[in-house]
Amino acid sequence: MTMTDTPTPLNRLGRLMIDQPLLPLIGLLILLVAVLAILNPGVLSMFWAGNTIKIAIPLAMLAACQTLTMLTGGIDLSVGTVATIAAYLTATLAPMIGVPPAIAIALAAAVVIGLVNGFGIAVCRVHPLIMTLGTALIATGCLLVYQRYVIATGVLIPDFLIWLGTGKTGGLPNSLVLFVPFAALIIWAQRRSGFGRLLYAIGANEAAARLSGVRVWQVHLALYTLSSLIAGVTGLLYLGQIKTASLSLALPLDLPSVAAAVIGGTSIFGGRGGFGGTIVGALILTVLTSMLTLMQIPEGGRRILFGLIILAVTALFIRLTDRS
Amino acid sequence: MPETAAVLDATGVAKRFGAVQALKNASLQVGPGQVVALMGANGAGKSTFVKILTGVLKPDSGHVRIRGRESTVTNPAGARKWGLVPVYQEPSLIPDLSVADNLRLGDTALEPFRHWVAELGLPDLDPEAMIRSLPLASLRIVDLARALAIEPDVLLLDELTAALPTDLVERVLRTVRAQADAGRSVIYISHRFTEIAAICDRATVLRDGLTVGDVAIEPGIEERIVEMMLGGAVAAAMTETRPAGAASTETPRLSVRNLKTGTRLTDVSFDLHKGEVLGVVALEGQGQDELFDTLAGQRKASAGTVEVDGAAQTFTHPADAIAAGLTLVPGDRAHALFMSRSVRENIAVPLLARFRNWGAIRMADEAAKVTSAIETLQIDTRAQGEVRRLSGGNQQKVTIARWIAKGVQTLLLFDPTRGIDIRTKRQIYALVRDLADQGAAILYYTSELAEIRLACDRAVVIFNGRVVDVIDAKDADEQTLMRAAYGLTEKAPA
C-alpha cells in the first residue's frame, strides 16, 4: 500500500469549519432548537422565534465589539459598562434636557471611553484586557459619582427606544430595523473595506502589518472608539428593551458577548473569524439560555450547565479546526 | 545485524493536506556511519517529510523505523526518546532562559554539552548567558551542541549552515563528518552543494512528493542531482553573467552617506541608481541587518544621511520609507507574512495601509493587481486560502509580490533566496533583473556569494560596519568576495 489520501471525517469537518464556518454553527443551532422542541413540545412558535431574536440582538451587537477587537488579537471588556452608562445617562438626562441632547451626551460619553481605551492600547501599549477592564472600573466609578451628585428629576425612557427595543411588527422584533443594516455593514466592512482587512492583518501578524506600512496605532485607536460607540448604541437599544435604568443594566452581557464571538469561530488570538459566525453564536447562546430556563433547572445548575456547554462547544471547535 | 541494515528506514510515506498531496511516496534509508543528504526543490515535500520523521506530523500511510522499531512518536520529545534529534535553521531554544536552563529543560547533561560547544568553536560560551543575548550564529552552535550531547542514533540537520559565518561552517561540517565516522547516522538538509560534496555519502532526492533518486556522492554528481530535482526542465541559463550597467551620472535613486545605526553599523556610504541591482556582501553580523532595517524605517539611524532622488529623508516608521518608495523584503518570511490569511489578502495589505484607503476596497482593481503580481512571480496558488499552507519558496514569492502589486521603486531584498530551491532562485534572479530593467533600483543582500554574479551589477562589501570594497559583478567570483568580506582587500583610508 502506497497511498491513502482520504482524510478522516473529522479532518473533513475541521476543514469545512475553516472554509465555511457558518455551516456547522447553523447545524448546531438547528440541533439545539430541535432538542428544545423535543423537551418542550409546543414551545416553538412565531412568538418564541421573535422573542429569541429580540433577546439575541443586543448580545450580538456587543459581541460585534468583541469580534472586531478579537480579530486584532484584542478584547473589549468595557462594553457592558459603556452600554450601561449610555443607557443610564439617556434615561436620567432626558427629563432635564430633552431626548436628543441626552442621547448625544450618552454617545459622546461612550466615544470618550473608547478614545481612552484606544489611546492606552495604541499609544501606551497597555494590553487590551487590562486597559478595557481599567477604564470600565473608572467609568463605573464616574457613574456612581454622577448618580450621587446630579439630582435626577426622574427617569424618562424615550418612546422610540421602547418601540425599537420591545415592539414587534408582524411577529418580528422592531430592533431588526437597527440590527439588519448594522450587521450588513459590519459583514461588508470586515472583508471589503481597508479598515476591516487591516484588523485581520494586525491580528495575524502585527509586525508584518507595520512592515507593510500600516500605522497600527491608528487602527487600534479607531477600532476601540468604534467598539465603544457600538456598545453605546447597544445600551440605548437595551434600555428600550429592559425599560428600567439601572447601574448594572448591561453588565451581565459582558462575558456572554465574548462567548458568542468565540463560539462563532472568532479566534481570541486574532486573524480569524467574522461577524457572521458571531450572530449565530449569539443565537446559540440565547436558545441555550431559554432551553435551560424552560427545563426549570434552578439558577445554580443553570449557570453550571451554561458554562460547561460554552467550554465544551469552544473546545470542540478549536480541536476540529486545528486538526486540518 | 548485517552491516547494510539501515538505522533509519522510512518507506512509502504519504501525506495530504486538504487539496494538496504534499507527499506521495517518500522513502529514505540511512545506514550506520552515513551522512545522507535529503534534497529537493521547495514544494517537493521536504518540510513535510522532516515533520513526519520528527513526529510533528503523522503520515497517512507508509512507515518510519529506527533500528527496526516502528515510530510511535507523537511529538518532538517522543522523537528524541525514539532515537532521532533534529536541529533546525531556527534554533529551538527559549529566549528568556539561560543556556544551562535550556539544557535542563531538555534533560541534557552539561558536561558533554560543554565539550561539543568547545569543539564547535565557542569555548568561551557562558552557560549562564541568556539565550536572548546571544547572536543567531552562536544559538545554532548551542542547538547543535545540545543535540550532539544527547548522542542520538540519528541526527537530523536542517539548513544548519544557512547564513553561518564561514569559519563556523567549517567546524560544523568537520564535526558532523566525525560523528558519522564514529558510526552514527546523519540526515543532512542543505541547498549548498559544496557542503554536501564535503561530508555526505549519499543523497536522496525528492520531487513532487516522490523520492526520485538515491545516489552516491561523487565528483560531478551535482548536475545529476539538479536534473533530478528539476525533473529535466529549466536546467540551463545558470551561467550567464550580467553585463555591468554603465555608471549613471543622474541623481541616484538612493544615496546613503556615513550611515550609523546601533553598535554594528558604523559608517556606510553608497549610491544606488535606477535600473541597478546593487549587491551587499557581508559575513554574519557586520551591520547589514541594521542597514536594511534603517532604510526600511524599522530602526532609527544615529548618524548619517539617506537621500531618495536627491531629497533628504528621515524615517520614523516603515510607512515613511514606503512613502519614499523604499520597500523591504525581510530575511525571515515569518516576519512579513500573515500566515492565517489568504494569498490575496497578504499581497493587498500595502494597498490598504494608509488611512485614506480604509474605506471601500475597489475589488476589481485589487484583483487585477494581485493577479498580475501572482502571474509575474508564478506563485503556485493551489493552497491560496492560507499562506501557511504554501511551500517556503512560494511564501517568499508572496512577500515580494506584495511590493510588485504596490509598484516597485526601490526594493530592499534581504537574503531573498535563503533556504529556497534552485528553480525559485532562478525565477527570483530573473525577476530582479526585469524589475531593474523597468527602472527599479534594487539593494540585494545575499549570504550566498555565488549569487552576486547571477543577480547583481555591483556589490558593496561591508565588514565591521563599514564599506570595505566595491566590486563589479564581472570580477565577483566567490574567492574575491570572500577575501573582501573578511576585510582582506580594504585599502587604507585616504
Q: Concatenated DSSP letters for A217-261?
A: HHHHHHHHHHHHHHHHHHHHHHHHHH-S--TTSSGGGHHHHHHHH
Nearest chain A Cα distance for residue B455, angstroms:
25
Whether residue B341 is found in the same domain as residue B219: no
In a domain, B43, yes or no: yes
Whether residue B424 is found in the same domain as residue B388: yes
Q: Which residue has the cell 479598515?
A: A195
Whether residue B461 is found in the same domain as residue B318: yes
Whether residue B308 is found in the same domain as residue B445: yes
- Which of A5, A197, A208 is facing B16, going by the closest CB pair? A5
| DSSP output for A177-189 | HHHHHHHHHHHHH
Whether residue B77 is found in the same domain as residue B196: yes
C-alpha cell at B305: 544621511
Whether residue B258 is found in the same domain as residue B226: no
Whether residue B200 is found in the same domain as residue B326: no
In a domain, B243, yes or no: no
- What residues contact residue A148 under an 8 Å CB cut-off, 6+ apart? none
C-alpha cell at B304: 548619517
* Chain A hits for B347, Cβ within 8 Å: none
Whether residue B218 is found in the same domain as residue B259: no
Q: Which amino acid is at B127?
A: P
d(CA B250, CA A30): 70
Q: Which residue has the cell 512509502?
A: B12
What kind and span of H or E run contains B35? strand B35-40
- CA nearest neighbour of B66 among B131, B1, B122, B124: B1
In a domain, B241, yes or no: no
- Say whether residue B24 is in contact with chain A using an 8 A CB cutoff: yes
- What residues contact residue B247 under an 8 Å CB cut-off, 6+ apart? none
Q: Say whether A210 and B318 touch across the interface (CB within 8 A).
A: yes
- CA nearest neighbour of A291 among A15, A19, A35: A35
d(CA A158, CA A175): 15
* Best of A11, A123, A211 to mutate (most B CBs within 10 Å, chain B): A211
- What residues contact residue B385 under an 8 Å CB cut-off, 6+ apart? A18, A19, B342
* H helix runs in A20-175, sequence order: 22-39, 46-71, 79-97, 99-122, 128-149, 159-166
Nearest chain A Cα distance for residue B360, angstroms:
4
In a domain, B347, yes or no: yes
* Sign of the CA dihedral with A280 first, then A281, A284, and A290 last: negative
Whether residue B403 is found in the same domain as residue B448: yes
Q: Is A106 exposed, middle or buried (0-12, 13-18, 19+ CB in 10 A)?
A: buried
Taking a C-beta distance cutoff of 8 angstroms, is the pair B117, B142 a contact? yes
Taking a C-beta distance cutoff of 8 angstroms, is the pair B41, B393 a contact? yes
Q: Is B205 exposed, middle or buried (0-12, 13-18, 19+ CB in 10 A)?
A: buried
* 3-state DSSP helix/strand/coil % of chain B, to nearest 5: 35, 25, 40
* Chain A hits for B395, Cβ within 8 Å: none
Q: Which residue has the cell 524599522?
A: B298
> What's the CATH number where B393 sits?
3.40.50.300
d(CA B368, CA B478): 41
- Say whether residue A207 is in contact with chain B using an 8 A CB cutoff: yes
Nearest chain A Cα distance for residue B350, angstroms:
5
CA B276 to chain centre: 24
Residue A207 has, within 13 A of its CA and on its CB side, a CA count of: 12
Q: What residue in B sits closest to A204 (Cα-Cα)?
A: B338
Taking a C-beta distance cutoff of 8 angstroms, is the pair B5, B29 a contact? no
- Say whether residue B328 is in contact with chain A using an 8 A CB cutoff: yes
* Chain B hits for A18, Cβ within 8 Å: 385-386
* Best of A8, A19, A187, A197 to mutate (most B CBs within 10 Å, chain B): A197
Q: Say whether A213 and B350 touch across the interface (CB within 8 A).
A: yes
- Say whether residue B340 is in contact with chain A using an 8 A CB cutoff: yes
Phi then psi for residue B109, to 5 deg, are -70, 145
- What residues contact residue A154 under an 8 Å CB cut-off, 6+ apart? A95
Residue B382 has, within 13 A of its CA and on its CB side, a CA count of: 10
* pLDDT digits (tens), chain A, 324 positions: 333 345 567 777 776 666 677 888 899 899 999 999 998 888 888 999 999 999 999 999 999 999 999 999 999 999 999 999 999 999 999 999 999 999 999 999 999 999 999 999 999 999 999 999 999 999 999 999 998 887 667 889 999 999 999 999 988 999 999 999 999 999 999 989 999 999 999 999 999 999 999 999 999 999 999 999 999 999 999 999 999 888 888 888 998 999 999 889 898 888 889 999 999 999 999 998 888 888 888 888 888 988 888 788 778 777 776 644
DSSP secondary structure letter of residue B368: H
Residue B162 has, within 13 A of its CA and on its CB side, a CA count of: 22
Instruction: Find the angle CA(A96)-CA(A99)-CA(A103) to the nearest 5 degrees.
Output: 105
- pLDDT value for B152: 87
- pLDDT value for A309: 81
Phi then psi for residue A213, to 5 deg, are 100, 5
Total domain count, chain B: 2
d(CA A261, CA A274): 8
- Say whether residue A323 is in contact with chain B using an 8 A CB cutoff: no
Nearest chain B Cα distance for residue A61, angstroms:
21
Q: Say whether B61 and A4 touch across the interface (CB within 8 A).
A: yes
**Chain B, 366-385: which have a CB under 8 Å from a chain A CB?**
385
Taking a C-beta distance cutoff of 8 angstroms, is the pair B221, B203 a contact? yes
C-alpha cell at A57: 440582538
Going from the C-alpha of B422 to that of each of A290, B23, B191, B391, B427, the distances in angstroms are 62, 20, 8, 14, 9
CA B469 to chain centre: 25
Residues with pLDDT less than 70, chain B: 1-4, 19, 41-43, 73, 76, 162-163, 230-249, 490-494
d(CA A136, CA A133): 5
Whether residue B266 is found in the same domain as residue B330: yes
Q: Say whether A214 and B349 touch across the interface (CB within 8 A).
A: yes
Range of the structural domain that residue B221 is part of: 8-230
In a domain, B398, yes or no: yes
d(CA B153, CA B161): 21
Taking a C-beta distance cutoff of 8 angstroms, is the pair A252, A74 a contact? no
Going from the C-alpha of B453 to that of each of A230, A303, B281, the distances in angstroms are 58, 70, 12
Taking a C-beta distance cutoff of 8 angstroms, is the pair B413, B443 a contact? yes
Whether residue B427 is found in the same domain as residue B301: yes
* H helix runs in B120-275, sequence order: 136-150, 166-181, 193-199, 221-230
Q: Say whether A201 and B341 touch across the interface (CB within 8 A).
A: yes
Above 0.90 for ipTM, yes or no?
A: no
* H helix runs in B182-303, sequence order: 193-199, 221-230, 288-295
- pLDDT value for A4: 39
**Is the entire prediction scored with pTM above 0.80?**
no
- Say whether residue A296 is in contact with chain B using an 8 A CB cutoff: no
C-alpha cell at B202: 549519499
In a domain, B300, yes or no: yes
Q: Which residue has the cell 427617569?
A: A155
d(CA A312, CA A216): 34
- pLDDT value for A322: 62
Beta strand B202-207 with B35-40 is: parallel
Please give the CATH number for the structural domain made up of A19-323.
Answer: 1.10.3470
Model pLDDT for residues B334-373, shown as the tens digit of each residue: 899 999 899 999 999 999 999 999 999 999 999 999 999 9
Taking a C-beta distance cutoff of 8 angstroms, is the pair B145, B116 a contact? yes
- Say whether residue B5 is in contact with chain A using an 8 A CB cutoff: no
Whether residue B352 is found in the same domain as residue B287: yes
- Say whether residue A51 is in contact with chain B using an 8 A CB cutoff: no
d(CA A195, CA A199): 6
- Say whether residue B348 is in contact with chain A using an 8 A CB cutoff: yes
d(CA A259, CA A311): 9
Q: Where are the domains of chain A?
A: 19-323
DSSP secondary structure letter of residue B232: T
DSSP secondary structure letter of residue B315: -
